[in-house]
Structure 1
Amino acid sequence: MIPKDFRHLNDTGLWIALLRLLSIILPVYAHRYLMFLIQGQDKDKLFDRFYRVLNDDIVSGFGIGLYLCAEIIDRHQGKIGVESEFGEGSTFWFSLPVAVVSV
């Protein structure tokens, strides 16, 4: 059962999926950014250092934000990605493994 607090976060643009792993439920966050579509050629480079999507409407930034996110998540043996569909926007997601500590 999904906790009541998680069900209503969809209104803010934050989507939460629950992942069951080793009988532990983890929240996995995905944020929908509806401003522009990320083309296929940009998806491969999006998490590279200093890479910026060429778009007439968006010119700010240095291209290090998503790179740093990917580095941090990678160093924790996690995964990060993006899914993009025309007319639907882009969904950025990440997942992190669960550490099981036995006492």
Structure 2
Amino acid sequence: MDINSFDKIIKRSLDIREKYHQLEIKGNGAQWTLEEDALAYLTDAGLVGRNVMSHEKTWLKKDSAEELEHKLAENIWWLITLADRTGIDIKEAMEKFLTKTENIF
């Protein structure tokens, strides 16, 4: 994936999050706080774990390959939106992380 593709993914992710904020305002009178976003992310991260267990046949659920795929992507979406809300440039953060980790090896 080139950087322009990642830029498009980030923009689309933030556009979708803004639409959810509008639904939150309409339904609850306020958009979710940063903490509520973080808790929603953690819930979805836990569901990734359950779906991996289902994939490995160690959790009593139907084969959930489609759900696992969805939740993995949703977790990336959450991380993009959390980075944005905390003022972190996710592209720069990824570059730093990858470089630091590569240098360990």
TM-score in terms of structure 1 length: 0.28
TM-score in terms of structure 2 length: 0.28
Higher strand share: 1
Higher helix share: 2
